[in-house]
Amino acid sequence: MANVVVVGSQWGDEGKGKVVDWLSERADVVVRFQGGHNAGHTLVVDGVTYKLSLLPSGVVREGKLSIIGNGVVLDPWAFLEEVETVKAQGVEVGPENVRIADNAPLILPLHRNLDRAREAALGNAKIGTTGRGIGPAYEDKVARRAIRVGDLADTGALIDKVDALLFHHNALLRGMDMPEVDKDGLMAELNDVAPRILPFADAVWRTLDEARRNGKRILYEGAQGTMLDIDHGTYPFVTSSNAVAGQAAVGSGQGPGAIDYVLGIAKAYTTRVGGGPFPTELDDAVGKILGERGREFGTVTGRPRRCGWFDAVLVRQAVKINGIDGIALTKPDVLDGMSELKVCTGYRLEGEVIDYLPASTVSQSRVEPIYETMEGWTESTRGARSWADLPATAVKYIRRIEELIGAPVALLSTSPEREDTILVHDPFAD
């Protein structure tokens, strides 16, 4: 049985939620392996819309095991709130179908406060974080002072860990002229939440190893996108974790051999949220049309997304970095009725033509897109369930994208409804 990793191949918001839900019906286990509750997935199942941030998409499917891996930073209060929200929609959630890695770091209220204070201090130079404390929590993880899920089980040891954590954070707060964190108050919050979180705690590396040995199909669900990866994205306008396929193994306690197929998700155009370079961004009527038709607003934040033409340079780079075997292309229907389409095939930087996005922040801001113009289509692609249902020029557009990015389209999503999907290659069949 093949195990599949799903990753975003642009700046996130590519439609991973629907694709992961569509694949989760075939999977036995669904794993979140990085990020926090700054990543939102919207699922539409039988006409019901579910908005998930921490819970793996498989949670809405009966009989699936959902796992939050060690690569995730967990806000225990946000997790419990999300559990109650989906329970109110009729979804069963409990330790029997949701497990949290006992070595996953926690996001605490002090992380949220620090995140927001830093963004405010940056002013116009702000990164564009969601203010949910993800970055500061990852900082504490790397600095070896994080409070982890399993630490909640031992109050005595927890006190010492909180002391070490506050030694650092209160020094930061003093330097920013902000109130210091009260140790007793934080301990009271942790002791209160502990009995509600600990039943979900598990050595998930062992659970996943057993699942693999028993021939279970595992779906690794990524958040954000390759161009938001802390190493490979448009740094520093990135998230604080690795959002690439290799993190699926690291962030869940598995070896690289656990991954059989990498499915990249890409929109038929390009969007991003927050600050940072965006070579194909359209600050005109076309960009506005893309945003309105695509309903481009963040699932978690509600912020409008910046929109632009499809950037084949970025997606080709993501294909190579992730080892993508196939692409799930989403939202071609947003392009319906446009007489002319453009695809970025390269960049011009200081008079030189290049075929990749350079790592330098200065160079990223200076690249100019080189476009190839293609004929659009007047017919609708929305709801198409076979290639025969697609206009010939839409098929031509898709085939050209395949050539430019160096990867085949394995799946085409033609609406938010899960049934409106054209399957070319089943990733689980490998």
- What HEC string does the chain produce? CCCEEEEECCCCCCCHHHHHHHHHCCCCEEEECCECCCCCEEEEECCEEEEECCCCHHHHCCCCEEEECCCECECHHHHHHHHHHHHHCCCCCCCCCEEEECCCEECCHHHHHHHHHHHHHHHHHCCCCCCCCHHHHHHHHHCCCCCEHHHHHCHHHHHHHHHHHHHHHHHHHHHCCCCCCCHHHHHHHHHHHHHHHHHHEECHHHHHHHHHHCCCCEEEECCCCHHHCCCCCCCCCCCCCCCCCCHHHHCCCCCHHHCCEEEEEEECCEEECCCCCCCCECCCHHHHHHHHHCCCECCCCCCECEEECEEHHHHHHHHHHHCCCEEEEECHHHHCCCCEEEEEEEEEECCEEECCCCCCHHHHHHCEEEEEEEECCCCCCCCCCCHHHCCHHHHHHHHHHHHHHCCCEEEEECCCCCCCEEECCCHHHC
> Angle 382-383-389 (CA atoms, 0-180°, nearest 5)?
90
CB 313 within 8 A of CB 10: no
41 as an active site residue: the answer is yes
Active-site residue (options: 21, 37, 41, 232): 41
Beta pairing partners, 346:
370
426 is catalytic: no
Catalytic residues, which ones?
A: 13, 41
